[in-house]
Structure 1
């Protein structure tokens, strides 16, 4: 693609620390309870562990900025995902709580170094070669 070429970028993805996560209580190496942690009106009060996709965590947000840098490769970046907890039934009849994430949005990005040891993930649609 544009490997090791100078490029001009019009936006990039910035990491978001929104404080949303799943908190697990473990006992004897197994998860006993799962709780949603975070702020906002859409944070559920409790986790019913039914596999519902109701807790959206945002990992990156788009920031408009003009800059130039060196394109070194591509990466698929997960922008946001639903976190979930569910009950898994074992072959011996026991139950186990499992947690995971279901990816909602992903963007193909270029890895652009704009300064010494500084990189940004830039959506490919916002990159032009010089």
Structure 2
């Protein structure tokens, strides 16, 4: 039974990791277009354009890094906390432009990060377990 819980945990971590990796790869290949799109989304919001510019410039790299960390299972606790912070930031941005559908999806990601962090004792299949006897 414990093995099933560890496998379920692994596949949840992999699913979120693949999603973040995919977002990062696609956006990295077209950062100028992604940045322009993001600035356009927020042009009527309270957010200053410079914030949208820098967030759109950094987000693809953060998504790529999070995806890699989650997939290989390295520094997973840090990845869950960073991922949760990214999701909170995205939720705030979506609220500013009144994109409530996006908020709903982002809340699901937030819940999944909560589950992963809360049940870390099931994180048995992770690269960090191979190199360290410590538990993150």
Query: TM range, normalised to the smaller chain?
Result: under 0.3
What TM-score, normalized by structure 1, do the two folds share? 0.28
TM-score w.r.t. the length of structure 2 is 0.27
Structure richer in helix, relative to its length:
2
Structure number having the greater strand percentage: 1
